Structure 1
Amino acid sequence: MSAVSTWRNIRGTDAEASARSPRRRISARRRVGSLLAGAAALVVFFFSVFPVYWMVNTSFQPNGQVRGSELHLWPDNGTLENYASIILGQSRAPFVPALLNSLQIALITVIVALVFAFLAALAVTRFRFRARGSFIATILIVQMIPAEAMIISTFRLIDGWQLLNTIIGLSAVYIATVLPFTIWTLRGFVNGVPVELEEAAMIDGLSRSQAFWRITFPLLAPGLVATGVFGFIQAWNEFVFALVLNPRPEAMTLPVWLRTFLDPNGGTNWAELMAGSTLVAVPVVIFFLIVQGRMTSGLVSGAVKG
């Protein structure tokens, strides 16, 4: 009996070892895959962050050092003269009016576009009407048209309304440009909130409007924030329409203001240009950090249909 028991134990040990061997190989493969994925993520992160770092690093260097042949990976001779020159200098268009123009136009665009897009998304999602399919198809078609293809017609329209070099005129163009994207995005968020939630609230005694504002709207708030961030960035960074419709120094936005640093004769002050680019990026970063939490939850909720 002892020999039989010993043989059974040996066979059981071999079976356990053979069963553990595939598991170890799978675990090793997973570790290797995790390491490769982490290395790839680091490479992508480096290539994404390095241009931003180089912009900020150059903004703190003297222009003579930037145009020299020696490479400086950090601002060893750091100075704030570039920032002081572009904020307080009088040699080019002033920075503060351009900043205020960009802020006003971006905020007006986001607020108005979200209001109209939210109502349109509710109408398309919650109601059934005859032209519903045509409306959705029109949104997709409008998104496919390049904005640059409508510059001439847009310029003549805004000029006919005498809104050139005004905040209202450029904001109206940005609203029309952003609306198709915001409607299509908010439609996904609204569609992800079950209508049964409102019906259950109405059974409990709430009116339709009360059920919407107390139950549905809080669930849609992250989606509104996420969509608003994309609309803000699009309005903040737009250059072509701003250059054509608001070319005057007192009406230009920050992307057009950055163009004043470029000298066609080759005398561009790259240090000041990088400082101006850093200042242009700061409001977007601050805005993103403020709404980051709700934006993340909005992106997740928009990806999952409830």
Structure 2
Amino acid sequence: MTIRRYGLSALALAIALVFAFPTYWMVTSSIKPRGDVLSTSYDLVPTSVTFENYATALFSSDFLRYLGNSLLVTLTAVACSLVAGTLAALAMSRFRFRGRKGFLMLVLVAQMVPFEALMVPMFLFMRDLGLLNKLPALILVYWITTLPFTIWSLRGFIDGIPVDLEEAAMVDGCSRAEAFRRVTLPLLGPGLVATSVFAFITAWNEFLYALVLMRSESLQTLPVFLKTFTTAFGTDWGATMASATLFTLPVLVFFLAVQRKMVSGVTSGAVKG
């Protein structure tokens, strides 16, 4: 058993290194001088370090404006998706009504549809609503695209919470809404965190819709910003890697801010009072 455990640990470590290497290469390339980035020597450890690429990404462009746009549309879409998804998942889990299974199948089908396949109908829909080149268009698109997964995921978490806890709260005088708020919602914390992380990453990394729907550069998001370092004269890979590194920081900060909640909500709310 010990040999097997060490073997599995070594395999897991090797897989982790494979997945971590692109991130390591991105970070190290961001602090290399421009000549070293284009070198064919492939140095795993930079021989010289410079922060000129970060200065180019931050001060020679409108990085902060793109960052603000990304944070606005992503956080708003995630918040809307969590609110609507929680209510829909609660209905799917706790209530029995005609058409329930059909609705669940539609949610699953909507989740499986390729994101790019919806580009033309989404564009026409936003054009008819007069939302082209407006940030609410991206918020609506990201909300729609993250909602099916949110409903499906939270439904599974709610199914795992015994309905007896809500019934006991209602026996003690709580209404159905109060029982959900006082008992089920605190226990749903880990599910909300896990779902919000996925929805945040999905909306944060989206490129195609931000490029097509937002024609004005002042309204575009960070994924679109990364392509601005490619011109007719070539690509500034150092600044691109620095921008990509900065692009990953909000996701890391968001995860670190909510990861504690993934455990803290497991038992809270199960105690009467």
TM over 0.5: yes
Do 2:189 and 2:262's aligned partners in 1 also have CA atoms closer than 8 Å? no
Measure how far apart 1:264 and its partner are. 5.1
In the TM superposition, 1:62-81 aligns within 5 A as 62-81=33-52
Q: Give the aligned residue type for 2:107.
A: I
Measure how far apart 1:296 and its partner are. 5.9
Hey, what does 1:147 align to over in structure 2? 115
Do 2:170 and 2:179's aligned partners in 1 also have CA atoms closer than 8 Å? yes
Hey, what does 2:244 align to over in structure 1? 277
Counterpart CA distance in 1 for 2:100 and 2:210 is 33
How many residue pairs get aligned? The number is 267
Do 1:98 and 1:252's aligned partners in 2 also have CA atoms closer than 8 Å? yes
- TM normalised by structure 2 equals 0.93
Using the aligned pairs only, state the percent identity: 48
2:161 to 174, 183, 193: 193
C-alpha distance after superposition, 1:48-73 (max 9, x if no partner): 11111111011011111211233332
Do 2:93 and 2:159's aligned partners in 1 also have CA atoms closer than 8 Å? yes
Instruction: Give the unaligned 5+ runs of structure 2.
Output: 268-273
My pick for the range that moved more, 200-209 or 76-85, is 200-209
Hey, what does 2:271 align to over in structure 1? none
Counterpart CA distance in 2 for 1:71 and 1:152 is 42
Measure how far apart 1:139 and its partner are. 0.7
Corresponding position: 1:289 with 2:260: no
Measure how far apart 1:225 and its partner are. 1.3
1:251 to 211, 214, 219: 219
Q: Give the aligned residue type for 2:20.
A: V
In the TM superposition, 1:121-160 aligns within 5 A as 121-160=89-128
Q: Give the aligned residue type for 1:287.
A: F
Corresponding position: 1:42 with 2:13: yes
C-alpha distance after superposition, 1:161-205 (max 9, x if no partner): 221222111110111111111000011011111111111112223
Q: What is the DSSP-based 3-state SS (H/G/I as helix, E as strand, rest coil) of the residue aligned with 2:218?
A: coil
Cα distance change on mapping 1:297 and 1:49 into 2, 3 Å: farther
Cα distance change on mapping 1:46 and 1:224 into 2, 3 Å: same
Counterpart CA distance in 2 for 1:83 and 1:249 is 21
Q: What is the DSSP-based 3-state SS (H/G/I as helix, E as strand, rest coil) of the residue aligned with 1:76?
A: coil
Counterpart CA distance in 2 for 1:210 and 1:297 is 21
Hey, what does 2:59 align to over in structure 1? 88
Q: Give the aligned residue type for 1:69.
A: T
Counterpart CA distance in 2 for 1:119 and 1:294 is 20
Counterpart CA distance in 1 for 2:207 and 2:250 is 17
C-alpha distance after superposition, 1:209-268 (max 9, x if no partner): 322211111101221111111100000001111111113210111111111122355x21
My pick for the range that moved more, 204-213 or 152-161, is 204-213
Give the number of the structure whose alpha-carbon radius of gyration is greater.
1
Q: Give the aligned residue type for 2:236.
A: N
Corresponding position: 1:214 with 2:182: yes
Counterpart CA distance in 1 for 2:135 and 2:264 is 33
Counterpart CA distance in 1 for 2:211 and 2:31 is 28
1:55 to 26, 47, 58: 26
- TM normalised by structure 1 equals 0.83
Instruction: Give the unaligned 5+ runs of structure 1.
Output: 1-29, 302-306
Cα distance change on mapping 1:250 and 1:103 into 2, 3 Å: same
C-alpha distance after superposition, 1:246-291 (max 9, x if no partner): 13210111111111122355x2111111000000001101111111
